[in-house]
Structure 1
């Protein structure tokens, strides 16, 4: 019972220390709440629509006007300029007034009427990836629709019905259905992964800030023994558990992102991730001796970490060293596991590799963290003994 009382005492003391530090509380809880509304805001529309484009029509034929009408009717793009001058359309792209351009060369209709191959060109502004993709795809689909109609008319002349002509034009039908990201939006793709990173980074910054503060003051709120470490570890682990419940239980529902694929597995994985990331934060926190140093060094690590997770950048494109090193960060298995469980409905068996990665990282973080924790205690005792003045012979005689 004495050991459990010491663990409980360390648990309460750690929570008291966290609650008494306003900056740490901002990072632990307020930061996650602010991010939950601020980060998804740019992706609220989910899909890009009505991207401005220009059409350069040098053919000035019925076919070119039909292509322009189909482009104007496409929901992803909006034709804002039609001209025969290529330079004028290029200037519009340079001035960011349009995101793409369709070039229809002269003689297009005559080539199509003669049965020869005819080509049009599309160009986009590659600086803005989402706008560029919408503009190029929209223009290409408009041209493809007109081209398919021309081919069906030719086939109809040699077949009894238009249905047979359409069957010859597309013998294999394609019906694409998005199973999980049903709207195929960017927010539903990136925010669930970024939420895990937010939970990790806010905890990491807060814990390192607290450790730096305690090191500056020369005193820690808990004893530097096993019971003190376990109590502190459990107290810190409560923070990612609460933040995970907030994000997965409320934010995803509020933002209407795919969720709830495997609730039981999600809860078990949340506990595993919480204890792994808290042990990792304590291990890193033991390295800091000043309050401000942690923010200076860690605030710029979020972007590399999200790329290493394998969500926004393919793992196959990473160097072999980074492929192995990325598993040293809890967010890597955490993001992959949470997305699979919460969005894709995977089973625990299907995220076994991520779970094993978290367990291995937790064991290593606890071992290194406690070793550093205990070593700091010995060093502090040596400093204290060196600062105590030795008794004078006269005092000994007295």
Structure 2
């Protein structure tokens, strides 16, 4: 009473056979495979988490903050592309697509660090590309912590 329906795999094989054996369809089918294999990912290239370019905003303007930026510039995993005067300029640079994240060194960062008052660096990521934003935040955490710890330790040792 019930007609037998072909499985999904059988339907796929039937369609593939038809595409390859039909002389009108076969060249287009071969071209489509070539075309999609190279150009399908092209619109998503901006989302590749291959590097983390940041713009640094130094609101502290102290030797520690300058040392921190200098060590970040030397870090292989984080690239400080620009150094902005304020957050508005950093946001403008991010909107133009030059960077993936903004690092803000808050005012009194050195003072609070020396006095052992809890302080934090602010890292703002571009949420337009979700994959890149997540990788930016996760990828920056390790190098930032390493560089900050080294810069603070060196600064504290120099100043007793």
Partner of 2:28: 26
Partner of 1:66: 67
Please list the CA deviations of residues 330-360 of structure 1 after superposition, one character each: whole Å capped at 9, or x if unmatched. xxxxxxxxxxxxxxxxxxxxxxxxxxxxxxx
Q: Shift of residue 95 of structure 1?
A: 2.9
Distance 2:90 2:141 in 1: 17
Cα 1:80/1:18, change in 2 over 3 Å: closer
Please list the CA deviations of residues 219-264 of structure 1 after superposition, one character each: whole Å capped at 9, or x if unmatched. xxxxxxxxxxxxxxxxxxxxxxxxxxxxxxxxxxxxxxxxxxxxxx
Q: Shift of residue 18 of structure 1?
A: 5.1
Distance 2:112 2:66 in 1: 16
Matches within 5 A, 1:302-317: none
Partner of 2:104: 103
Distance 2:149 2:76 in 1: 19
Please list the CA deviations of residues 245-284 of structure 1 after superposition, one character each: whole Å capped at 9, or x if unmatched. xxxxxxxxxxxxxxxxxxxxxxxxxxxxxxxxxxxxxxxx
Q: Shift of residue 91 of structure 1?
A: 2.0
Q: Shift of residue 127 of structure 1?
A: 0.5
Name stretches of at least 5 consecutive residues in structure 2 with no aligned partner.
1-16
Kept in 1: contact 2:54–2:101 (CA 8 A): yes
Please list the CA deviations of residues 137-176 of structure 1 after superposition, one character each: whole Å capped at 9, or x if unmatched. 454334301343346998xxxxxxxxxxxxxxxxxxxxxx
Partner of 1:368: none
Kept in 1: contact 2:125–2:137 (CA 8 A): yes
Kept in 1: contact 2:55–2:83 (CA 8 A): yes
Matches within 5 A, 1:1-398: 19-27=21-29, 29-39=30-40, 48-49=50-51, 51-149=52-150, 150=152
Cα 1:147/1:53, change in 2 over 3 Å: closer
Distance 2:41 2:148 in 1: 39
Partner of 2:5: none
Cα 1:135/1:113, change in 2 over 3 Å: same
Bigger-Rg structure (1/2): 1
Distance 1:92 1:47 in 2: 19
Looking at both structures, which has the greater relative contact order when contacts are Cα pairs under 8 Å and sequence separation is at least 6? Answer: 2
Q: Secondary structure at the match of 2:25?
A: helix
Q: TM-score, normalised by structure 1?
A: 0.29
Cα 1:93/1:38, change in 2 over 3 Å: closer
Kept in 2: contact 1:52–1:78 (CA 8 A): yes
Cα 1:62/1:141, change in 2 over 3 Å: farther
Q: As a proportion of its length, which structure holds more helix?
A: 1
Q: Shift of residue 36 of structure 1?
A: 3.3
Q: Across the two proteins, how many residue pairs are aligned to each other? A: 136
Distance 2:133 2:19 in 1: 50
Name stretches of at least 5 consecutive residues in structure 1 with no aligned partner.
1-14, 155-398
Cα 1:67/1:134, change in 2 over 3 Å: farther
Q: Shift of residue 128 of structure 1?
A: 1.9
Q: As a proportion of its length, which structure holds more strand?
A: 2
Kept in 1: contact 2:56–2:69 (CA 8 A): yes
Cα RMSD for the two superposed structures: 3.3
Distance 1:59 1:95 in 2: 25
Please list the CA deviations of residues 105-155 of structure 1 after superposition, one character each: whole Å capped at 9, or x if unmatched. 11111111112211110101110234434543454334301343346998x
Kept in 2: contact 1:77–1:135 (CA 8 A): no
